[in-house]
Amino acid sequence: MVKSNKVKNPTLDHIASLAGVSKTTVSRALNGSDLVREDVKKHVRAVAEQEGYVNKAAKIEIPLPLKMVSFYCLDHLANASSFYDQIIHSVRSELEKLSIKVNIVLYNKQSSSSILSRSLKESDAILVLGEPYGNLSQVLNGSKLPTLLLNGLDQEMKIPSIHPDYELGGLMAGSYLIERGHTNVKIITSNDRHSTYQRTDGFFRAFALSGIDLNREEALIDLSKYHNGNHSTSPGDFGAKEILPKLVEQGRFKECTAVFCICDMIALSFISTLTHYDIRVPDDISVIGFDNLTLTSFVQPRLTTLSVDYSMLAKAAIMKLVRLSNESRDIGNRTTIPVKVVERDTVIDMNN
């Protein structure tokens, strides 16, 4: 028997330390999991009994049938900005924790169906970052593997999806500015995909719910209208670095007190542009972003933004894949992950 270091309310961590095993092993041993050897179960239970640990009700264990997941990402998304990098990194990290191999497949509109199909060899499930593009849609339709769209949407609701709650995030951004006295505002977006439309609609809904008449035509700056659908030299910010200097020179932001940028990369390009024209943030114009990229907490001024919990997004995606693997594929539902405001230095309170 191990030497006791008895405490008043022993925890799983305490039992794990005494037994010389991981917390997960302790939990599985106490719950009778077949994943733990019988001698280890006996040892852990003896330590727990010695320490007076009271086991809580056993959790229901869902079988983990996944050994390999194919993760499809558009090649320009993988390099566009750290938003997508952080999603890819979080998914890979969470899969590796579960000893699930991940095959990251970068593809584009030239990728043939045969090449995309070969990437599914030995895979047990499919993850797609964003919405399927080109021949990938055909491959997914012909596959019988559990499939999940991550940060994307199937308009026909045939493929389940999971993404941050973008519309709520837009509403939260608008409400945050309203609470701080900003009613003469603008939004910089690029309405060329579902997720950006959601953020835009949520933002305007915040003002409508507050009884504020915000002229959509004047308040909305849609970058997709300026680059005619062509890829910009800075795709992560939807071309903001090239487009916004011209709009600032035209006086498009002259009267407004605050701007909501639908992603942090646009916000950072906007702040850089304003600085070039000696417009101070937040003294002259307040700015709020969306994504909470790592860089936003280091730049000056530090960016106020909406935070996406990438780890939570990855874990929820994997849990959903596991459930799809254990249940019928005919579950075309959508799941959203909450977001929250991260308050820093780029929004001034007009009420003070």
Question: What's the CA gap between 18 and 237, in Å, rounded?
Answer: 51
Q: Report residue 39: phi and psi, to 5°.
A: -65, -35
Instruction: Give pLDDT, residue 90.
Output: 92
Nearest alpha carbon to residue 125 among 62, 63, 70:
70
The answer to whether residues 107 and 134 touch, using CB atoms and an 8 Å cutoff, is yes
Question: What's the CA gap between 283 and 269, in Å, rounded?
Answer: 18
Instruction: Give pLDDT, residue 149.
Output: 94
* CATH topology classification for 68-164+311-338: Rossmann fold (3.40.50)
* CATH topology classification for 1-61: 434 Repressor (Amino-terminal Domain) (1.10.260)
Same fold, 1-61 and 68-164+311-338: no
CA 223 to chain centre: 22
Instruction: Give pLDDT, residue 80.
Output: 56
- In the chain, where are the structural domains located? 1-61, 68-164+311-338, 166-307
Instruction: Give pLDDT, residue 129.
Output: 93
The answer to whether residues 127 and 70 touch, using CB atoms and an 8 Å cutoff, is yes
Instruction: Give pLDDT, residue 79.
Output: 63
The answer to whether residues 202 and 189 touch, using CB atoms and an 8 Å cutoff, is no
Query: The domain 166-307 is classified under which CATH number: 3.30.930.10, 3.40.630.10, 3.40.50.2300, 3.40.50.2000?
Result: 3.40.50.2300
Instruction: Give pLDDT, residue 77.
Output: 74
- pTM equals 0.78
Q: Digits of tens for pLDDT over the chain (352 positions)?
A: 445 556 777 888 888 888 888 888 888 888 877 778 888 889 988 888 888 887 765 554 555 678 999 999 988 776 655 688 889 999 999 999 889 999 999 999 899 999 999 999 899 999 999 889 899 999 998 898 999 999 988 887 788 999 999 999 999 999 999 999 999 999 999 988 888 999 999 999 999 999 999 999 999 999 999 875 554 445 578 899 999 999 999 999 999 999 999 999 999 999 999 999 999 999 999 999 999 998 899 999 999 999 999 999 999 999 999 888 877 555 568 899 999 999 999 999 999 8
Question: What's the CA gap between 199 and 174, in Å, rounded?
Answer: 10
